[in-house]
Amino acid sequence: MTGTASRPTLEAVAARAGVSRATASRVVNGGDGVREPLVERVRRAVEELGYVPNQAARSLVTRRHDAVAVVIAEPETRVFADPFFALQLRGISKELTAHDSQLVLLLTEGRDDHARVGRYLAGGHVDGALVFSLHLHDPLPGLIQGAGVPTVFGGRPGWADGTRDAAPTVYVDCDNRGGAREAVRHLAGLGRTRIAHITGALDQTSAADRLDGFRDVMADVDPALIAEGDFTPAGGEHAMRELLERRPDVDAVFAANDLSASGALRVLRERGRRVPDDVAVIGFDDMLPVAEQTDPPLTTVRQDIEEIGRLMARLLLRGLDRGAVRGLGHGAARDLDRRAGEDHLGDAPSSVVLPTTLVRRASA
């Protein structure tokens, strides 16, 4: 095990360079307003001593940490099984790296973890938090609020905005409801009349919103055509079996995400139903490793997951940079018509809802 030497302090560097601690500090932090020869001497001293600033000491005075926590309210097993998180994390990671901020991933499995995460956030280890995959009645938002850490959520949180706090909740999400509507309309446009829905985990707003979108189009749908899933392939399989049992005449399925859709597809094949001839299937997310690998390839509602991650990070960093984390303006959800690739942000951090697009492949 590699050992811990007692590291040299700025004091030591200053002494070796023959300058004051203040000058040494200036050089270490960029060297503005220090004359070249001194800069040089300090740099050499740093080099020779192998000096690295003590972050605890620095943070104590600057109150900055150059680190952002990402909190995923989901057990590791799911986090690592679902490409969704990987994509989001990648977007976040890219943005943070560009800002020279360290990504600190906090996984929370059980209730004990929640408390620990709360303490970690409150303890001032990070400048802010990015939180996603929140479930209804999750204690996390409360803890985070208690911790007083600037936070941006991934996906609309499950509580009514503005009721919990003076400062508005900022989140990034895609247009779940609109995307769902588009999917169902597409199925209807194909002439399907017995359109079913496999929901996601209904304690998450994304699932609830997609269900709402489904209902927007299928106003008086037979409840038997709605089966509850949980965003996993297994959940999709189970729901599909249920659907086939309750309504053998089903001719289309809108699944709450691609993973569920892949499960549904498997069951349909097993039961000898041809897709899309007998039953048309649409997913949600357009997760390439899933949607392109299914048989047949999946028609789906695309959302730019990586971009969501990137925006979350950008929103947070922007809020931090301007030091204004209280009483920020809170615009209505918007940007529905902006093209991806543009900067989806306004001047003041406010929630952003990204558009979705239907991607047609073979399954519907």
Partner DNA sequence: TTGAAAGCGCTAACAT
Partner DNA sequence: ATGTTAGCGCTTTCAA
The interface with a copy of itself within residues 140-199 (CB under 8 A) comprises: 144-152, 165-170
Phi and psi at residue 58, in whole multiples of 5°?
A: -65, -50
Torsion of CA 219, 222, 228, 233, to 10 degrees: -90
| Binding positions for a copy of itself, 30-69, rule CB under 8 A | 50, 52-57, 59-60, 65, 67
Tell the smallest beta-carbon distance from residue 304 to a copy of itself (Å).
16
243: partner contacted, choices a copy of itself, DNA, none (Cβ within 5-8 A by kind): none
Among 44, 47, 48, 57, binds DNA (CB under 7 A): 57
Asked whether position 192 contacts DNA by CB under 7 A, the answer is no
Report d(CA 196, CA 256) in Å as an integer: 11
Q: What residue 326 binds from a copy of itself, DNA, none (CB within 5 to 8 A, per partner kind)?
A: a copy of itself
Number of H helices and E strands in the chain, helices first, is 14, 12
- Could you say whether residue 235 binds a copy of itself (CB under 8 A)? no
Write down the least CB distance from residue 164 to a copy of itself, Å. Answer: 9
End-to-end CA separation in angstroms for the chain: 57
Separation of alpha carbons 92 and 74, rounded Å:
17
Min dist CB 26 to DNA, Å, is 6
Helix, strand, coil share of the chain (percent; to 5):
45, 15, 45
Which of a copy of itself, DNA, none is residue 302 near (CB under 5 to 8 Å by kind)? none
Q: Shortest distance, CB of residue 245 to a copy of itself, whole angstroms?
A: 25
Look at residue 4 and give the partner it binds from a copy of itself, DNA, none, a contact being a CB closer than 5 to 8 Å depending on partner kind: a copy of itself
Question: Are 149 and 126 a contacting pair, CB within 8 Å?
Answer: yes
Give the closest residue to 180 by CA, choosing from 159, 202, 140, 209.
209
Sign of CA dihedral 340, 94, 101, 153: positive
The single residue among 44, 48, 62, 80 that binds DNA, judged by CB under 7 A, is 62
Q: Does residue number 25 form part of the binding site for DNA (CB under 7 A)?
A: yes
Question: Using only C-alpha atoms, what is the Rg of the chain?
Answer: 25
Which residue, 58 or 241, is less far from DNA as judged by CB?
Answer: 58
State which of residues 25, 93, 215, 297 lies at the interface with a copy of itself (CB under 8 A): 93
Residue 1 site contact among DNA, a copy of itself, none (CB < 5 to 8 Å, cut-off depends on kind): a copy of itself
As a whole number of angstroms, the distance between CA 59 and CA 119 comes to: 17
CB 91 to DNA: min, Å: 30
Q: C-beta of 341: minimal distance to DNA in Å? A: 36
CB of 323 to a copy of itself, least distance (A): 9
Is 60 among the residues that bind DNA (CB under 7 A)?
yes
Angle, helices 176-189 vs 205-217, to 10°: value is 40
CB of 55 to a copy of itself, least distance (A): 4
Task: Name the β-bridge partners of 129.
Answer: 69, 151
Cβ atoms of 122 and 114 within 8 Å: the answer is no
Applying CB under 7 A, the residues found at the interface with DNA are 6, 9-11, 18-23, 25-26, 28-29, 33-35, 37-38, 51, 53-54, 57-58, 60-62
